[in-house]
């Protein structure tokens, strides 16, 4: 699928007739099921329109459809759009849903992407920043830790340490807790807790190298750049390193920091580290970005075969010079803060998750080592069976940066029977290709940044008429849908903050296609629950399951949860573990206990209070096809 792909929407399509996200006075009628109210403002207060605060919402100077100043001066929003009423778009941090026209402009290379703006800023300032670096001035070099909570194989930290050693100075680490970023990015309490535990371990490991880790809470996310500059000036640091995060907000922030720090004669030096291969590196023969995984992965493998040094481990940071600890003694006393109140775990959850998921890079490397020794050989044949405990469960470490994806690929390659990534042990080949999906989704995010802005990759699917049923959503969240494999998966997530990948596909497909709920409600809920929450991977998975994303399953393919259950949990082991109401049912009836009324299975399920299916499979499939066809303006499948 070419990157300049533009939506071809028939003029009589529902998406052409009903959809608008212009900033005029028309409501977004993205759903014929959800009926937007005409006005949610207090009648006695005539709203005064504001200019749009974000160019993504129609450009400077246009009227912002949903922002008003009330009589008491408070900023409020018109939540008549269904995605806002449902809490999908958090208007405290983001503008209204982007227009299809602007998505098409990104596709057509008509407006610059955030990663292109950062690359341009880095390129235009290279000479000036190199000059600062070459002067070897300042009393310290800073490394800003973000999603790279480790000392091994860390590009930014390694380069900061190398420069400090040349200067005969030391490194100061900085970690910032930004509660607003955690709120805006829907980071789960489980993930917040895991990161805080990992920061404490990182602080101790750095201290062994006489490297302090300054820890600070910055309440307002917009103040982060200003505060970083203040820190650099206070410690007379002329060089500040970090590893790049690829979401649009973070790319824009780093573009801003490159320029602002240079105004203060400081070199801000962001590094590619989070991906094995930096986004934008892999292109089709025509120079375009891939939108299909299989050809992208072939190129990924070929690139690493041609450039094996990309997988090399980055040098460990050096010990800081003697006397550095004494000079910056107060920085070694930093305490890891408590999570914000909205992100705190209960004592019971904390105890359970601490036992399930030891934090820090040593725990990550130990888990990886055990997987490569004990499980990877059979990974290809067993990875889809949730009861077999056959996967690595390293996604939480990749998400927090306690383990680099590069490290995982390199160590897997090292235990293979060949140095080729697409040869040797089948299980190793399969696992590396699964790790690479993480890179692929980041490449997609950088080239099509609107997927970060409440839009489906296939933005022509914008007007699929989703349902917004709170009871159905709650049944899905709590594992009370009457579909045992779906309910087992959701209950597992509610207790462990984790879900097997096969079950993520099944539960996501069920929400989007059986319940026909807006897929973004599910995407949001997963982020708010998972300990391994990762925006690009989560968004990509939901796009696949709902057929609205990059390289998705066809919209007319609707998973049959009962068949998925029979295939991947044949004996019902996983169901019996998480849906105890059904543990006494024998044989295949456990997958659909109410299939035949009057049977022993149905009696057991009813007696134990297990619900009947909230939607009938055949009806759900037919409704899904009708709704999708109408939404994209197709008369036939």
Catalytically active residues, by annotation:
434, 437, 466, 501, 519, 542
- Residue 30 in marked binding region: no
Treating both helix axes as pointing N-terminal to C-terminal, what angle do 361-374 and 405-414 enclose, rounded to 10 degrees? 30
Residue identified by tokens 């750049």 is 225
CA angle 215, 220, 222 (to 5 degrees): 105
CB 172 within 8 A of CB 334: no
- Residue 436 in marked binding region: yes
- Residue 534 in marked binding region: yes
- Residue 437 in marked binding region: yes
Instruction: Look up residue 536 and give its two tokens.
Output: 């690009």
Residue 583: partners with Cβ closer than 8 Å, 6 or more residues away: 576
- Residue 393 in marked binding region: yes
Instruction: Look up residue 235 and give its two tokens.
Output: 């410690």
- Residue 532 in marked binding region: yes
Instruction: Look up residue 528 and give its two tokens.
Output: 């708010």
CB 412 within 8 A of CB 428: yes
- Residue 206 in marked binding region: no
DSSP 8-state class, residue 477 = H
- Residue 55 in marked binding region: no
- Residue 602 in marked binding region: no
Spatial distance between the Cα atoms of 599 and 338, rounded to a whole number of angstroms = 53
Q: Could you tell me where the DSSP H helices lie in 533-582? A: 535-546, 561-568, 573-578
Instruction: Look up residue 418 and give its two tokens.
Output: 């060949």
| CA dist list (Å): 623 to 466, 487, 513, 628 | 11, 22, 8, 9
Cβ of 347: how many Cβ atoms within 10 Å? Answer: 8
> No. of H helices and E strands in the chain?
27, 8
Phi, psi of 107 (to 5 degrees): -60, -40
In 12-35, which positions are buried (b, 16+ CB within 10 angstroms) versus exposed (e)?
A: ebbbeebbbbebeeebbbbbeebe
Instruction: Look up residue 459 and give its two tokens.
Output: 């933005």
- Residue 533 in marked binding region: yes
Instruction: Look up residue 415 and give its two tokens.
Output: 């235990």
- Residue 434 in marked binding region: yes
- Tell me the pairing of strands 237-243 and 213-217: unpaired
Residue identified by tokens 């990015």 is 185
- Residue 362 in marked binding region: no
Spatial distance between the Cα atoms of 260 and 267, rounded to a whole number of angstroms = 10
CA dihedral 305, 307, 308, 310 (to 10 degrees): -130
DSSP 71-134: TTS-EEE-TTSHHHHTTSS-TTT--SPPPHHHHHHHHTT-S--HHHHHHHHHHHTHHHHHHHHH
- Residue 61 in marked binding region: no
Spatial distance between the Cα atoms of 586 and 609, rounded to a whole number of angstroms = 18
Task: Quote helix, strand, coil % in the chain, to nearest 5.
Answer: 50, 5, 40
- Residue 392 in marked binding region: yes
| CA dist list (Å): 121 to 259, 262, 268, 284, 452 | 7, 11, 11, 26, 22
SS (H, E, C) 427-469: HHHHHHHHHHHHHHHHHHHHHCHHHHCCCCCCHHHCCCCCECC
Q: Give strand pairing partners of 213.
A: 173
- In this structure, the chain runs to a length of 637
- Residue 431 in marked binding region: yes
Residue identified by tokens 């955030």 is 114
- Residue 396 in marked binding region: no
Q: Return the closest-CA partner of residue 395 out of 425, 449, 346, 431.
A: 431
Cβ of 319: how many Cβ atoms within 10 Å? Answer: 15
Phi, psi of 146 (to 5 degrees): -130, -100
Annotated binding residues for FAD: 379, 391-395, 431, 434-441, 532-534
Annotated binding residues: 379, 391-395, 431, 434-441, 532-534
């Amino acid at each position: 699928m070419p990157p300049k792909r533009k939506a071809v929407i028939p003029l009589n399509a529902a998406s052409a007739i009903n959809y608008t996200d212009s900033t005029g006075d028309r409501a977004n009628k993205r759903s014929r099921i959800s009926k937007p109210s005409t006005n949610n403002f207090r009648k006695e207060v005539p709203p005064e329109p504001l200019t749009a605060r974000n160019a993504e919402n129609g450009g400077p100077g246009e009227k912002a459809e949903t922002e008003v100043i009330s009589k008491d001066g408070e900023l409020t929003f018109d939540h008549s759009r269904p995605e806002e009423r449902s809490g999908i778009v958090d208007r405290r941090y983001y503008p209204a849903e982007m227009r299809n026209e602007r998505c098409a402009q990104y596709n057509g290379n008509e407006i610059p992407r955030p990663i292109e703006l950062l690359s341009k800023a880095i390129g235009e300032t290279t000479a000036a920043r190199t000059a600062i670096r070459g002067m070897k001035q300042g009393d310290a070099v800073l490394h800003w830790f973000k999603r790279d909570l480790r000392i091994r194989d860390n590009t930014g930290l390694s380069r900061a340490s190398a420069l400090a050693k040349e200067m005969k100075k030391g490194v100061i680490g900085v970690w910032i807790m930004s509660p607003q970023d955690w709120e805006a990015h829907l980071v789960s309490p489980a993930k917040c807790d895991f990161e805080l535990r990992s920061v404490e371990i990182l602080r101790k490991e750095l201290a062994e190298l006489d490297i302090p880790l300054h820890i600070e809470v910055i309440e307002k996310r917009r103040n982060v750049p200003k505060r970083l500059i203040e820190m650099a000036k206070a410690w007379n640091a002329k060089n500040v390193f970090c590893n790049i995060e690829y979401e649009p907000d973070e790319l824009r922030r780093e573009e801003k920091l490159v320029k602002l720090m240079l105004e203060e004669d400081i070199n801000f030096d962001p590094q590619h580290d989070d991906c094995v291969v930096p986004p934008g590196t892999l292109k089709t023969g025509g120079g375009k970005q891939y939108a299909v995984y299989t050809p992208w992965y072939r190129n990924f493998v070929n690139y690493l075969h041609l450039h094996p040094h990309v997988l090399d481990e980055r040098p460990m940071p050096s010990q800081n010079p003697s006397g550095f600890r004494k000079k910056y003694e107060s920085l070694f006393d930093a305490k890891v803060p408590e999570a914000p109140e909205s992100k705190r775990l209960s004592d019971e959850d904390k105890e359970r998750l601490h036992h399930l998921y030891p934090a820090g890079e040593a725990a990550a490397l130990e888990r990886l080592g055990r997987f490569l020794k004990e499980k990877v050989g059979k990974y290809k044949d067993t990875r889809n069976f949730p009861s077999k405990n056959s996967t690595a469960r390293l996604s939480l470490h990749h998400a927090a940066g306690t383990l680099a994806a590069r490290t995982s690929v390199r160590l897997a390659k090292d235990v293979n029977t060949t140095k080729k990534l697409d040869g040797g042990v089948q299980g190793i080949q399969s696992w590396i290709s699964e790790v690479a999906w993480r890179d692929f989704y980041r490449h997609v995010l950088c080239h099509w940044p609107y997927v970060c802005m409440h839009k489906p990759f296939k933005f022509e699917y914008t007007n699929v008429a989703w349902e917004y049923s709170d009871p159905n959503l709650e049944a899905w969240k709590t594992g009370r849908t009457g579909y045992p494999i779906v309910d087992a998966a959701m209950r597992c997530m509610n207790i462990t903050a984790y879900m097997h990948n096969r079950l993520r596909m099944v539960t996501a497909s069920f929400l989007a296609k059986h319940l026909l709920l807006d897929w973004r409600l599910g995407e949001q809920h997963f982020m708010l629950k998972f300990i391994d929450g990762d925006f690009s991977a989560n968004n990509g998975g939901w796009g696949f399951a709902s057929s609205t994303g990059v390289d998705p399953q066809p919209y007319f393919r609707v998973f049959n949860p009962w068949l998925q259950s029979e295939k991947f949990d044949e004996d019902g082991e996983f169901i019996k573990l998480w849906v105890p109401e059904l543990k006494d049912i024998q044989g295949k009836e456990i997958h659909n206990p109410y299939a035949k009324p009057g049977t022993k299975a149905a009696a057991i399920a009813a007696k134990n209070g297990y619900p009947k299916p909230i939607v009938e499979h055949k009806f759900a499939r037919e409704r899904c096809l009708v709704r999708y066809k109408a939404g994209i303006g197709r008369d036939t499948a």
